[in-house]
């Protein structure tokens, strides 16, 4: 399979192959890649008028190939923009800052969580359960943190007891769709 096609499937772009691929001790397929010079831009203003001041390495989990987990070793340039102060890491178009995985990996996790447990998925992808939980938490936060209340016609309110010692949660749901609209601490009017 052509190398470019593999990278397209992995959801990474504007990169060039850097070193021969290897398997590490955990049997990950490790692909060493480097950003293409013409794709490097300032993370602040997106300008391409900059000077490269050295390179650093980021390790990013990517979607698996077959049953082999994939790890990208990305050479990321540190850049000095002509319009912004300071030296910064260049913007990677396929991964968010401070994340240890690509955007395509996060999408893969969300899709696979529909049919796999956190523990099984972490084992399949060769990553920690913590990473899977965080990806799912961010997805739920992004899509369900602020439910649309405009079209709500009927609601149901339930008070549930959690644990021992009379600890309660009050849950409000949209009776037509089943979507949770609010989870309040305690019970009674105060919780709402």
Residues that bind Zn ion (CB under 5 A): 42, 44-45, 47, 81, 83-84
CB 155, min distance to Zn ion, A: 48
User: Would you state the torsion angle of the CA atoms of residues 109, 114, 115, 117, taken in this order, to the nearest 10 degrees?
Assistant: 60
Closest CA to 106 of 114, 97, 116, 95: 95
CB 47, min distance to Zn ion, A: 5
DSSP assignment letter at 11? T
Looking at the Cβ atoms of 45 and 155, the one nearer to Zn ion is 45
Non-local CB neighbours of 184 within 8 Å, separated by 6+ positions: 169, 170, 171, 172, 191, 192
Looking at the Cβ atoms of 44 and 176, the one nearer to Zn ion is 44
CB 84, min distance to Zn ion, A: 3
Non-local CB neighbours of 100 within 8 Å, separated by 6+ positions: 59, 60, 61, 131
Looking at the Cβ atoms of 30 and 84, the one nearer to Zn ion is 84
CB 81, min distance to Zn ion, A: 3
Looking at the Cβ atoms of 84 and 157, the one nearer to Zn ion is 84
**Residue 148: other Cβ atoms inside 10 A:** 9
Q: What is the DSSP string of 24-72?
A: -TT-PEEEEEEE-GGG---TTT----EEEEEEEEEEEEEEEETTEEEEE
Looking at the Cβ atoms of 51 and 179, the one nearer to Zn ion is 51
CB 131, min distance to Zn ion, A: 31
């Amino acid at each position: 399979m052509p190398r470019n096609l593999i990278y397209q499937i992995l959801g990474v772009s504007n990169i060039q192959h850097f070193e021969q691929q290897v398997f590490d001790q955990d049997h990950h397929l490790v692909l060493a890649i480097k950003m293409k010079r013409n794709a490097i831009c300032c993370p602040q203003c997106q300008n391409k008028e900059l000077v490269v001041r050295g390179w650093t390495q980021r390790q990013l989990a990517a979607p698996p190939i077959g049953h082999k987990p994939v790890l990208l070793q990305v050479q990321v340039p540190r850049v000095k923009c002509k319009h912004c102060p300071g030296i910064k890491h260049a913007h990677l178009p396929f991964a968010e800052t401070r994340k240890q995985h690509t955007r395509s990996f996060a999408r893969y996790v969300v899709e696979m969580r529909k049919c796999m447990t956190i523990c099984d998925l972490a084992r399949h992808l060769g990553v920690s359960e913590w990473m899977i939980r965080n990806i799912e938490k961010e997805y739920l936060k992004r899509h369900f943190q602020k439910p649309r209340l405009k079209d709500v016609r009927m609601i149901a309110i339930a008070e549930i007891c959690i644990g021992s010692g009379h600890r309660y949660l009050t849950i409000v749901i949209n009776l037509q769709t089943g979507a949770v609209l609010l989870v309040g601490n305690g019970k009674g009017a105060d919780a709402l």
